[in-house]
Amino acid sequence: MRQALHHIRVETRGHGFYEITQPVVSWARAQGIATGLLTLYCRHTSASLLIQENADPAVLRDLQAAFARLAPEGKGLYEHDSEGCDDMPAHIRAALTQTQLAIPVAHGAPALGTWQGVFLFEHRHGAHAREIVAHLIGA
Amino acid sequence: MRQALHHIRVETRGHGFYEITQPVVSWARAQGIATGLLTLYCRHTSASLLIQENADPAVLRDLQAAFARLAPEGKGLYEHDSEGCDDMPAHIRAALTQTQLAIPVAHGAPALGTWQGVFLFEHRHGAHAREIVAHLIGA
Amino acid sequence: MRQALHHIRVETRGHGFYEITQPVVSWARAQGIATGLLTLYCRHTSASLLIQENADPAVLRDLQAAFARLAPEGKGLYEHDSEGCDDMPAHIRAALTQTQLAIPVAHGAPALGTWQGVFLFEHRHGAHAREIVAHLIGA
């Protein structure tokens, strides 16, 4: 049984989805682990992780609009507003999605479904450097 | 330390909850691992996983109604509508719940609470064959 | 490769966030595992886990208000009301957040971000004894 740790840095340029499937799968495959468990962890509270369809980009636009409705932005809506009107909605959207994802590894690769992509979901308007920790255990 | 991988196939017949507690727990117990970690992974973006109360079926009906309100179905609501009016709400409901669950194993069985059941949450109207990957590591 | 299991008991006193970062990190550090994976699991369906900002307490108040809007309380709103008007909203809020969290361990400690705290999110009004199972695997 072996383990590997890795850091993936994503430079975001505002609210939206940033696909990280390729770097995640490449790194996992390169570890030479046939069977195991891959965990991805987002070290932030205003960005999160999501597994979603990566075929039609309209899905991602609709998802973004849905989260904008579920956790709206607006003056006077929140007590915590000192970090900008997009900060508190960002925390709520992060709470509604995932800080971490665990994906079994089979035949040397993460067992993603045919249409599944791994995304960093950036909830802030400005540019941010986001750090994701990848952990792999297996044999 | 050992690992085991398993595939659980669930034939769904429309929107709703499909309990998989029994096959999951039976398989995990049969691996003879006293202490470990069980991960369940749903290989789809319009179905998801949820741990919920399995005592009163009204809880599941209310949950279903709540997600129908949070991610409503309707003509003209979404840009992505080529796969049917239930497809985009399905992606949103999947994003709001879980693609994967990790459950510690203690005394040879998943450490579920007394009232906890494991459910596949099908978000599409039609019948689908859903695949869940189960991974167990421990000793 | 080694494993450790632990039970963390949280005595809640009504709806809100209960930070457990300190006991979780202390226990994980004390296991002497340099690299690994920490999993936290909540054995309840009306309380859940969340990683959120632990700097400004107003964030937690706003989060609580947001979940009260997303899954409102009220007579006649739900079929399942035999356990009190706060029970069904509790199940919905648990479904929208997390039953489990997995955090990679690096340099002997959980790889939490600078502003990240681990919270039990109690969704019921009354006092409850909540049990969280912690599992650590690594070397």
- The interface pTM score, or ipTM, of the predicted complex is 0.97
Task: Supply the pLDDT for residue B33.
Answer: 98
Residue C120 tokens, joined: 């039990």
Mutation for B interface: C1, C5, C9, most B CBs within 10 A: C5
Q: How many CB atoms lie within 10 A of CB C113?
A: 18
Q: How far apart are CA A134 and CA A6, in angstroms?
A: 5
Is A82's Cβ below 8 Å from some Cβ in C? yes
Which whole number is the average pLDDT over B95-106? 98
How much is the mean pLDDT over chain C?
A: 97
pLDDT level of residue C53 (50, 70, 90 thresholds):
very high
Buried b (16+ CB within 10 A) or exposed e, A94-111: bbbbbbbbbbbbbeeebb
Is B66's Cβ below 8 Å from some Cβ in C? yes
Give the domains, in start order, of chain C with CATH numbers.
2-138 (2.60.120.460)
Task: Supply the pLDDT for residue C33.
Answer: 98
Q: How far is A2 from chain C (nearest CA, A)?
A: 8
Is C71's Cβ below 8 Å from some Cβ in B? yes
Q: What is the pLDDT of residues B8-20, one digit of tens each?
A: 999 999 999 999 9
Q: Which helix (H) or strand (E) holds B117?
A: strand B116-122
Chain B contact set for A70 (CB, 8 A): 70
pLDDT level of residue A2 (50, 70, 90 thresholds):
very high
Q: What is the pLDDT of residues A21-61, one digit of tens each?
A: 999 999 999 999 999 999 999 999 999 999 999 999 999 99
Share of chain B above pLDDT 90, in %: 99
Mutation for C interface: A38, A39, A48, A99, most C CBs within 10 A: A99
Which whole number is the average pLDDT over C111-119? 97
Q: What is the pLDDT of residues B20-63, one digit of tens each?
A: 999 999 999 999 999 999 999 999 999 999 999 999 999 999 99
Q: How far is B83 from chain C (nearest CA, A)?
A: 25
Task: Supply the pLDDT for residue A103.
Answer: 98
Is C100's Cβ below 8 Å from some Cβ in B? yes
Is B113's Cβ below 8 Å from some Cβ in C? yes
pTM of the model: 0.98
Residue B96 tokens, joined: 């709001």
Least confident range of A53-57, A59-63, B67-71, C114-118: A53-57
Task: Supply the pLDDT for residue A122.
Answer: 98
**How far is Cα of residue B69 from the mean position of the Cα atoms in its chain?**
20
- DSSP per-residue letters across A47-82: EEEEEEE-S-HHHHHHHHHHHHHHS---TTS-S--T
Is C95's Cβ below 8 Å from some Cβ in A? no
Cβ within 8 Å, pair B133-A106: yes
